Amino acid sequence: MLSIQHIVKQYAKHRALDDVSMDIAKGSIFGLLGPNGAGKTSLIRIINQITAPDSGDVFFNGEKLNPSHIAKIGYLPEERGLYKKMEIGEQVLYLAQLKGLSKAEATKRIKYWFEKMEMQGWWNKKVEDLSKGMQQKVQFVATILHEPELIILDEPFSGFDPVNAEIITQEILELNQKGATIIFSTHRMESVEQLCDSIALINKSHKILDGKVSDIKNSYRNNTFHIEFTGQFPAEKVDLFTIVLNQKPQEIQIKIAEGKTPNDVLNFLLPQIQIQQLSEVIPSINDIFIQKVSN
Amino acid sequence: MNKVLLIIQREYLTRVKKKSFLLMTFLVPALIIAMYALIAYLSVNGADKATEVHVYDDSGIFTSEFKNTETVSFSAGKTSFAAAKKEAATNEDGFILHIPKDIEQLSKVELYSKKKVGLSALSTINAQLEEILRNKQLKDAGIDAKTLATIKPDISIDSKELTAEGEKDSSAGAAYAIGFAAAILIYMSLFIYGSQVMRGVIEEKTSRIVEVVISSVKPFQLMMGKIIGIGLVGLTQFTLWIVLSTTLVGTAGKILLKDNPTSVKTEQVEGKQNKAIAEASNNPALTVINAVKTLNLPYIFACFLVYFLGGYLIYSALFAAVGSAVDNETETQQFMLPITLPLLFTYIMSFSFIINNPDSSLSFWLSIIPFTSPIAMMVRLPFGVPDWQLALSMFLLIGGFILTTWIAAKIYRVGILMYGKKASYKELAKWLFYKE
């Protein structure tokens, strides 16, 4: 769907993106992660053709990015904005027409979405009369109205209460099922785990990690296990396991030594303590993020 | 292109639909009419009561010769001068004019009053004193009144311009007025509509909608759409003002014309009594109308449109660049100077210099340089400008517009995406050379 190859973007003194490459598969939900100021917004702006890279290329469905692709992309920027004094209906209509929809078609779709998102009766309201969450909803509709093949959402949940966040989540999933590819930039790691198939992690202008969420998580497994038990836990046995975390009285985390299996450990432990639960600790995206970025 | 039209449409409609636009459209002509009405009213009813002057003429030359005017009425003093003087210290109205016996040697009279004497009353009294005294002295020298009446040279200068088509009546006064009005109008509208462009850019930048919009259109398209849209608002406003004013003035004119015959009659009656008024009755309004007719108004109006548009395009592009470089309106001050300075300079020069020396070389250069020509040329135009100068000036105006728009667009496309960074002139210069 989208192939980003060796992008370099230099601002006066600051290099925002340095040789960044990634591929985004058609129909995927792709998480673009990274701390503040890492270069995510710069990359998103390049995909949106707001700015151009100094070197490197972006391919959209195999074609080099060009202005005809603008109508196929929907972009919800992190910093939301609408014309304060304009009426909602008129405003969404204007933005949709800028994306190339005819007036009649745009009107029809706005009515459909306003109904779907429980926004009936907002048409003649002004933006300044809406709450922040309501404005976000308007902007979300404006982003997807032209049925883009690629939807770029920068922090789509900020400003939403849990109920509305859930509505938006469902809409995103539905759009994805209908075939839209979604790039999703956020700091909320739990929504990344919930939604994303693949991620890329950008830090200090470099891509430091990318791949399928499940693959990444698997590769970050390090033989750590969580055990709940009763009794007196025995001391470390370096050739079998080391204790990673021991904060609560009846819970412990251990790391099994290279070449040993959980069964080996169980054989050793069973005579000494009562085991209630043993499970592998799979690192969360959050952990991986922190680990990679703080290195 | 289609998208630029959409942007123009939005910029235009949101502004024209505003209540403030409607208010300005009707208020300004109404204010102009009201101002004229007030002046007319004051000139008719303003002089509430004639100043009473009690004359104590020890010389015996004057008393019977004074003529009452609208503002001053003369009467011979009833009591003795000394008594009247005492009384005047307590009496509110009335002046006491004391003419000494040896006025011809002294050339001095005294005027007593409780109030301060108004300037117009004073000059009326002075003029009459001088005329009466001169008449008397001429008579003494052996020239009789009849001869005197015939010797009254009254010369009016009828200025004619020599053009290819032959003589043409010209009127410096009317040219003066038209140039004056056009220059003020252009000066004000450049600021009004230019800063509307600037505010629009700041609004889009601070509300961050600009990012959504320029993911659909190029920054240059957005900037030009805004500039053209607001320019059209300006043209609409001008057209409405002109239409409204002319209809209002036309109606007012008709109403005034109905009253006219009587007023002319009274003028004639008074004219027999008073020469000064008779002179004024050469209907001044008619003179102005005739003088204005000597100017080629459609030509001047067409040039006005060209210079308004040219000037507007040049300056609004700069205003847009300033708007894009700042985060809010208070920060614009530091960048406003280069925009305000040439405009203010030309404006001041127009009224202190160009209008009095429309053909000097300084005036020529000011009306050629694109940053100053919209105002300077409008001042010169009613006095007559050679075609080649006009052509050169307009050509450079277009060149100036292309240059400033190019520069402004470069600053604009970087500026609108820069948040929270205070830009300096150095920074702006750097933006010019950024790749896209």
| B178-209 residue pLDDT tens | 778 888 889 988 999 999 999 999 999 888 88
The residue in chain A having the minimum alpha-carbon distance to the alpha carbon of residue B201 is A83
Closest to B10 measured CA to CA, from B273, B314, B290, B228: B228
C-alpha–C-alpha distance, residues B28 and B239, integer Å: 12
Q: From the CA of B221, how many Å to the nearest CA of chain A?
A: 11
Residue B266: pLDDT above 60?
no
Q: What are the chain A neighbours of B217 within 8 Å (beta carbons)?
A: 98
Q: Are A233 and A247 in contact (CB under 8 A)?
A: no
Burial of B19 (0-12, 13-18, 19+ CB in 10 A): exposed
- Which residue in the set A45, A52, A81 is minimally distant from B212, CB to CB? A81
- H/E stretch holding A190 reads helix A189-195
Q: What is the pLDDT of residue B268?
A: 44
Tokens of A130: 């809406």
User: CB B212 to CB A79 under 8 A?
Assistant: no
- Would you list the domain boundaries of chain A? 2-217, 222-284
- Which residue in the set A12, A79, A99 is minimally distant from B216, CB to CB? A99
User: CB A81 to CB B430 under 8 A?
Assistant: no
Strand boundaries in B133-223, DSSP class E: 160-163, 166-169
User: CB A81 to CB B435 under 8 A?
Assistant: no
- Which residue in the set A51, A73, A82 is minimally distant from B209, CB to CB? A82
The residue in chain A having the minimum alpha-carbon distance to the alpha carbon of residue B4 is A98
Q: What is the pLDDT of residue B160?
A: 65
Backbone angles phi, psi at A251, to 5 degrees: -135, 150
Q: From the CA of A70, how many Å to the nearest CA of chain B?
A: 6
User: CB B215 to CB A84 under 8 A?
Assistant: no
Q: Are A256 and A243 in contact (CB under 8 A)?
A: no
Could you tell me which residues come within 8 angstroms of residue B17 by beta carbon, excluding any fewer than 6 positions away?
Answer: none
The residue in chain B having the minimum alpha-carbon distance to the alpha carbon of residue A103 is B6
Mean pLDDT of B13-36: 84
Name the residue type at position A127. Answer: V
Q: Give residue ranges of B with CB < 8 Å to any A CB.
A: 3, 6-7, 10, 14, 203-204, 206-217, 417, 419, 430, 435-436
Q: Helices B19-45 and B219-273, interaxial angle, to 10°? A: 10
Mutate which of A14, A66, A76, A98 to test chain B, going by most B C-beta atoms within 10 A?
A98
Burial of B28 (0-12, 13-18, 19+ CB in 10 A): middle
Residue B288: pLDDT above 80?
no
* Beta bridge pairs of residue B54: B75, B96
Angle at A148 between CA A142 and CA A154, to 5 degrees: 60
User: CB B10 to CB A94 under 8 A?
Assistant: yes
Half-sphere exposure (Cβ direction) of A29: Cα atoms closer than 13 Å: 22
Mean pLDDT of B202-228: 89
Closest to B169 measured CA to CA, from B317, B3, B42, B294: B294
Q: pLDDT of chain A along its 295 residues, tens only?
A: 899 999 998 877 788 899 999 999 999 999 999 888 888 888 998 998 888 888 999 999 999 988 888 889 999 988 778 888 888 999 999 999 998 889 999 999 999 999 988 888 888 888 888 888 888 889 899 999 989 999 999 888 887 888 888 888 999 999 999 999 999 998 888 888 888 999 999 998 899 888 998 898 888 888 889 999 988 888 888 888 888 888 888 889 999 988 888 899 899 988 889 999 999 988 888 888 888 888 7
Mean pLDDT of B120-125: 79
Half-sphere exposure (Cβ direction) of B163: Cα atoms closer than 13 Å: 15
- Which residue in the set B210, B217, B417 is minimally distant from A98, CB to CB? B217
Q: Give residue ranges of A with CB < 8 Å to any B CB.
A: 12, 45, 48-52, 54, 70, 73, 75, 77, 79-86, 94-95, 97-99, 139, 142
Task: Name the superfamily (CATH) of residues A2-217.
Answer: P-loop containing nucleotide triphosphate hydrolases (3.40.50.300)
Q: How far is CA A148 from the centre of its chain?
A: 18
3-state secondary structure of B168: strand
B258 or B434: which leads in pLDDT: B434
What ipTM goes with this model? 0.79
User: CB A82 to CB B436 under 8 A?
Assistant: no
Q: What are the chain B neighbours of A48 within 8 Å (beta carbons)?
A: 215
C-alpha–C-alpha distance, residues A69 and A99, integer Å: 10
Q: List Cα–Cα distances, A130 to A82, A159, B202, in angstroms.
A: 11, 13, 21
3-state secondary structure of A179: coil
- Which residue in the set A48, A50, A81 is minimally distant from B208, CB to CB? A81
Mutate which of A46, A72, A79 to test chain B, going by most B C-beta atoms within 10 A?
A79
User: CB B211 to CB A77 under 8 A?
Assistant: yes
Q: What are the chain B neighbours of A9 within 8 Å (beta carbons)?
A: none
Q: How many percent of chain B have pLDDT more than 70?
A: 79
User: CB B213 to CB A50 under 8 A?
Assistant: no
B61 or B128: which leads in pLDDT: B128
C-alpha–C-alpha distance, residues B183 and B295, integer Å: 16
The residue in chain B having the minimum alpha-carbon distance to the alpha carbon of residue A85 is B14
Tokens of A154: 């920068």
Most confident of A273-287, B222-236, B254-268: B222-236
Q: What is the pLDDT of residue A149?
A: 93
pLDDT in tens, B301-329: 888 889 999 999 999 999 999 999 888 88
Q: From the CA of B207, how many Å to the nearest CA of chain A?
A: 5
Q: What is the pLDDT of residue A16?
A: 87
- The full length of chain A comes to 295
B319 or B48: which leads in pLDDT: B319
User: CB A83 to CB B203 under 8 A?
Assistant: yes
The long-range contacts involving A186-189, CB below 8 angstroms and separated by at least 24 positions, are A186/A31, A186/A33, A186/A153, A186/A154, A186/A155, A186/A156, A186/A157, A187/A33, A187/A155, A188/A157, A189/A33, A189/A284, A189/A285, A189/A286, A189/A289
- Which residue in the set B3, B214, B419 is minimally distant from A50, CB to CB? B214
Q: From the CA of B431, how many Å to the nearest CA of chain A?
A: 9
Residue B91: pLDDT above 70?
no
Q: What are the chain B neighbours of A80 within 8 Å (beta carbons)?
A: 208
pLDDT in tens, B372-389: 999 999 888 888 888 899
Residue B404: pLDDT above 80?
yes
Region of poorest pLDDT, from A26-35, B106-115, B191-200, B287-296: B287-296
The DSSP symbol for B59 reads S
The residue in chain A having the minimum alpha-carbon distance to the alpha carbon of residue B217 is A98
Q: Are B55 and B76 in contact (CB under 8 A)?
A: yes
Q: What is the pLDDT of residue B265?
A: 43
Q: Are B128 and B276 in contact (CB under 8 A)?
A: no
User: CB A50 to CB B417 under 8 A?
Assistant: yes
Q: Which domains, from first to last, does chain B contain? A: 51-144 (3.40.190.10), 170-432 (no CATH)
Q: From the CA of A75, how many Å to the nearest CA of chain B?
A: 7
Burial of A258 (0-12, 13-18, 19+ CB in 10 A): exposed
Q: What are the chain B neighbours of A73 within 8 Å (beta carbons)?
A: 215
- Which residue in the set B204, B208, B216 is minimally distant from A79, CB to CB? B208
Q: What is the pLDDT of residue B259?
A: 53
User: CB A77 to CB B212 under 8 A?
Assistant: yes
Closest to A213 measured CA to CA, from A200, A203, A224: A200
Place B171 in a pLDDT band, splitting at 50, 70 and 90: low
